[in-house]
Amino acid sequence: MEERLKDPIGRFGKITEQVLQGIVQSIEAAVVLHDRTLKVVFVNEAFERIFEIRGDEAIGNSPMDFLPEFDKSHREAILTRLQNTLRTGKKSPYHEFTYCSPSGRYRHLLAISVPILDGNRMISHVMSLVYDITERKELEREAVKAARLSSVAEMAYTLAHEINNPLTGIKLGLSNLYGSLKKEENLQILASVMKDLNRIQEIVKAFLKAKRGAPNQKEERISVLGDIIADVLFHLSGQLDRQKISVRNDFCRQERAIRMDREGIYRVILNLFLNAIQAMPRGGCIAISTEILSRSGDGGGESEELRISLVDSGPGIDPKNTEKIFKPFYSSKPGGTGLGLSICRDIVSAHGGSINIKGVPGQGTAVDITLPLIKG
């Protein structure tokens, strides 16, 4: 007992080799041990996972020999970090860099170099610890995006207040002019302008109420969708004619009850038509249809949904982008805001529904919206 207390370090030394291997392999960070020439003499399993390089390809070589070609400044910074640790005998500052693996995957890495001393307190090796912080970076990016969205929402809220007042004045002025117009076509145009102004004002009011609760949903018959789509087509008739785009519709003739915010669904349909029109500058076809679907619930009962489908004959979209297109500020169109489809999804979700987009490059795009119907 007394002997063991006198030399605890010596006793520890006997078990170091068998324990050290288990400790190093359990570390989530990549561990890379370099000799004084900066050639690698040991790597752990995390190194192979993070760098996607086999251990036997790294051992015996300098990092500059086995690391794939990526940003030159980062490669030079890695070498400089190791050389400084070897020269000064002090651990390096943390070094953050982006790494592109042999498979083309990008990772955000954080590295530090630590000197390893021998029994004579001389530097025998340099150890690098490299942490994969990709997930943390993604979370930080999402937090920044959320903060930016919050800022945009506040700005839009203020803007809505400012827009609402002049809209009232414009509506009053047009109402006064309405009685002095005698041509039927002029009355029709003015009626359309008034309808659009009403719609803008309703959107602004809905936005101003958004902080206080749910959208303005009322019980409607599903045939009202025909009226909504007719309004959209009248609004876009000029663009459709100029671009030689035909529209085919096939509406469900069965009647069901549905809770719906007319203005919200109008905005969704309008956005989808605008996207289809912009995708077909040289003409094409848009098909819109509705149908009732039956679904089996978790408790064994059945429920019904209304599916609205819009299909265009445009260039289609890359399947890899189908999730991105719903993210705020993401747009594949030059000058696009990237908010249209994000708003559409929010409106549909507020109705308890879902929106899905499928596309094949060169074969058009299909959008499916499902909305729950009222039981009974």
What 3 state SS string does 21-61 have? HHHHHHCCCEEEEECCCCCEEEECHHHHHHHCCCHHHHECC
Tokens 């070498």 correspond to 79
Judge residue 261's burial from the number of C-beta atoms within 10 Å of its C-beta, 0-12 exposed, 13-18 middle, 19 or more buried. Answer: buried
Distances (CA, A) of 115 to 125, 126, 127, 309, 333: 6, 5, 6, 64, 52
Looking at the structure, tell me whether residues 106 and 202 fall in a common domain.
no
Alpha-carbon distance of 39 to 63, in angstroms, equals 7
Same domain flag for 240 and 313 = yes
Among residues 213, 230, 252, the one where a domain terminates is 213
Residues 342, 354 within the same domain: yes
- Burial class (CB within 10 angstroms; exposed 0-12, middle 13-18, buried 19+) of 121: exposed
144 and 265 fall within a common domain: no
Domain count, the chain: 3
Cβ atoms of 4 and 11 within 8 Å: the answer is: yes
CATH number at residue 342: 3.30.565.10
Its pTM stands at 0.48
One digit per residue, the tens of pLDDT, for the chain of length 376 reads 444 444 443 444 555 566 767 777 778 889 999 999 999 998 898 999 999 889 888 899 888 888 877 666 777 888 889 999 989 999 999 988 888 888 878 888 999 999 998 888 889 999 999 999 988 888 888 877 777 666 666 666 656 655 665 666 666 666 666 666 656 666 676 777 777 777 676 666 655 555 444 557 888 998 899 999 998 898 888 888 888 999 999 988 888 999 998 888 998 998 899 889 988 888 999 999 999 988 776 555 678 899 999 999 988 887 777 667 766 555 555 545 456 777 788 889 888 999 998 887 888 889 999 999 988 6
Name residue, tokens 């109705």. 351
Within this chain, do residues 240 and 330 fall inside the same structural domain, yes or no? yes
Cα gap 251→229, rounded to integer Å: 10
Tokens standing for 157? 């809220």
On whether both 372 and 234 belong to a single domain, the answer is: yes
Q: Which domain holds residue 193?
A: 135-213
Residues 264/228, Cβ–Cβ less than 8 Å: no
How far the first Cα of the chain sits from its last, in Å, is 84
Locate 179 and state its tokens: 């009685």
